[in-house]
Structure 1
Amino acid sequence: MHALRPLHTFALPSRCHQLITLTHWQQLLEIDFTKPFCLLGQGSNTIFVDDFEGSVLHVAFKGIEINEHQSHWRIKVAAGESWHDLVIKLLDKGIAGLENLALIPGTVGAAPVQNIGAYGVELAQFVDHIEGFDIQTQQLMTLSAEQCQFGYRDSIFKHALKARFVITQVCLRLTKQWQPELSYGPLQSLKNDNPTAQQVCQAVVKIRQSKLPDPHVLANAGSFFKNPIVSHKHAVKLKQSFADIPVYAVDQQQQKLAAGWLIEQTGLKGYRVGDISVYQKQALVLVNHGNGCAEDLLAVIKHIQGQVWRQFAVCLEHEVRLIGRHNEIHIQGAVSE
């Protein structure tokens, strides 16, 4: 058995039957995928809530290839590269576009699965194509951005290709006609300053550092819950009862709410079970004070979901992957708690 505590940033005590570090895609040809397996990058969006009775495949493919074209840059990045390091490397080379996504933890290969996003920008805007290993056919294949079926914190890799596809490379397309995206929250204060991409990046990093604890100091998995999407009708009803509730348009039928705001309004900042608590500075974050266990984490998740449902009739889904004994699990919460 191999210890998993050092391999995921929430640092719950857990183990796996086998740990395999992947440095070349051809290693995938040797793996028995009929047995339980779990893909793992930097472990910043994954929590092992039990000993895993299978193989953990630690994705460590490396390499960045940059090609310049007349109107854009095309960047091909191996799945094991650090996402934040990629953002900084590109900015240092004068290649802008990803600065709003700075300091998002995790690997490049994990980014499309989640369709990472922050401050008005989503990864899907930049994906040219994804390359990976099809477990069923045992061959490499390429998916266009359209084939990835990107949605809010969603993609085909969470559905039809879940447990069937291993991302090996991500190809991005970044236009040379860069314009800053400053429409979201605190970044609006930069609108009159004509900021450079580097300055936007610095602002994003400063904002994120003020809200999110360093996992090396206080174990956490970043934003724990998805911002819920509700019907326009329900959003209007909530606005009537809670005038200052943050609401963001998704389309003509749906609105997006701020999960952190909802949790904070229930008075759960600092709520604690054992060594697991809601972070005092940001209600969207759960933290492990050092000796947390899975039972306490699941209790906190369910309590938060129950309280938010009771006050707002809104279901909260956890954004973080929870891995049980044999596969990923989903906590729905008790809405009648």
Structure 2
Amino acid sequence: MIIYKNSLKYFNTFGIDVTALEIIKIENINELYYIWKKNHLKSVPYIILGGGSNVLFLDNFKGIVILNRLKGININEHKNYWNLHVCSGENWHQLVKYTIKKGIFGLENLALIPGCVGSAPIQNISAYGVSLKKFCKYVDVINLLNKKIIRLSNIKCNFQYRSSIFKHSYRNNYVIIALGMTIPKKWKPNLNYKDLNYLNFNTVTPYEIFNHICKIRKNKIPNPKIYGNVGSFFKNPLVSNKLGTQLLKNFPNIPYIMKNNAFKFSAAWLIDQCNLKGYIKGGAMIYSKHSLIIINKFKATSNDILYIAMKIYYCVGNKFGIWLEPEVRIIGSLGEINPSSIFSHNYFK
């Protein structure tokens, strides 16, 4: 175990300068359980962080921050597929690079997604037409209350858009320790996403897709070391057939796709129609290249960022009748806060 000074500034990609009671890096399950049990007996709150790329700290945290650094990648080759067992503290993008170098193709569309492997199933990460659900075989979790390790199959993970069982019944007192994936050896490029349409399906290679997606993401998303951010702050909304049909009548140019008999709209487009791109509050700003991204432009406080998020929520809601849902985890002084308790239809008037 390594215990750091209590500033969290360099452990969250927003770069919010808040503190924790203690910040402890763990490298094996015994360390994880020991730290949790020691503080659980004292009723000290805790949170698990990987890369800190999807959190907004509102206040100093009055508990323990455990940095997950469980490492290890095991690969088993079969006739028609590869089986991967990856510990949850591995960096996701480095894993994608590693598999491509090994000649294991399929994850290239998920390149340059920030964070650690343990966060991937929680969010069911997806990008450019591919989601983790496609490859996930199982997720291993530890129940901290009895130290038992449980293996959940793909179906039991209940993967949905930006969601899974790990946001619900396996949220408290469970920690993801490993991810199992099955990747077919027979590779087919996935070029369904609009930014990839110009690539030639018959000649494109996994390396070209990987490099192209890295270039797109670097152009759209600022480097958090320069401008702190968590990527997209809000999810793309799924709305009912009735509301979606009405919105198409009122806004014929609104981009959408149909998913499970619901309309999935572009949150960025909705925000752009509210003329909010470039909006500034204190040291925070809506990024000029992508309106779903709020950046820490200059020593922003969490209140600056939250104010802008609320501004987006209110403007889009009142213009379109769509109340956006945050992707980011919001952490208060005692732990994670349900966004619905902050984002209220009547809050920002």
Q: TM-score, normalised by structure 2?
A: 0.93
Q: Which residue of 1 aligns with 2:314?
A: 306
Q: Does 1:103 align with 2:112?
A: yes
Q: Which residue of 1 aligns with 2:13?
A: 9
Count of equivalent residues: 336
- Assess if the C-alpha contact under 8 Å between 1:219 and 1:290 holds in 2: no
Q: Does 1:163 align with 2:136?
A: no
Separation (CA, whole Å) in 1 of partners of 2:107 and 2:87: 17
Q: Which residue of 1 aligns with 2:156?
A: 147
Question: Structure 1 residues 17 and 115, CA, compared in 2 at 3 Å: closer, same or farther?
Answer: same
Q: Does 1:29 align with 2:37?
A: no
Whichever residue aligns with residue 10 of structure 1, its letter is F
Separation (CA, whole Å) in 2 of partners of 1:181 and 1:226: 22
Separation (CA, whole Å) in 1 of partners of 2:344 and 2:271: 14
CA shift for structure 1 position 193: 5.5
* Unpaired stretches in structure 1, ≥5 consecutive residues: none
Q: TM-score, normalised by structure 1?
A: 0.97
Separation (CA, whole Å) in 2 of partners of 1:286 and 1:193: 38
Whichever residue aligns with residue 101 of structure 2, its letter is D
- Assess if the C-alpha contact under 8 Å between 2:283 and 2:300 holds in 1: yes
Separation (CA, whole Å) in 1 of partners of 2:256 and 2:146: 44
Q: Which residue of 2 aligns with 1:332?
A: 343
Q: Which residue of 2 aligns with 1:282?
A: 290
What percentage of residue pairs aligned between the two structures are identical? 38
Q: What whole-Å deviation, never above 9, does each CA across 1:103-138 have from its counterpart, x for those lacking one?
A: 000001111111110111111111111112112222
Deviating beyond 3 angstroms after TM superposition, the runs of 4 or more aligned structure 1 residues are 333-337
Whichever residue aligns with residue 313 of structure 2, its letter is Q
* Alignment equivalent of 1:321, drawn from 311, 324, 329: 329
* Alignment equivalent of 1:61, drawn from 61, 67, 70: 70
Separation (CA, whole Å) in 2 of partners of 1:79 and 1:192: 33
Whichever residue aligns with residue 7 of structure 1, its letter is F
Separation (CA, whole Å) in 2 of partners of 1:163 and 1:19: 19
Separation (CA, whole Å) in 2 of partners of 1:213 and 1:29: 36
RMSD value, Cα: 1.3
Q: Which residue of 2 aligns with 1:264?
A: 272
Whichever residue aligns with residue 123 of structure 1, its letter is L
Q: Which residue of 1 aligns with 2:236?
A: 227
Q: What whole-Å deviation, never above 9, does each CA across 1:181-203 have from its counterpart, x for those lacking one?
A: 11112111114553111111111
Partner SS, residue 2 of structure 1: coil
CA shift for structure 1 position 179: 0.9
Separation (CA, whole Å) in 2 of partners of 1:142 and 1:290: 44
Q: Which residue of 1 aligns with 2:255?
A: 246
Partner SS, residue 74 of structure 2: strand
Q: What whole-Å deviation, never above 9, does each CA across 1:190-217 have from its counterpart, x for those lacking one?
A: 1455311111111111111111001111
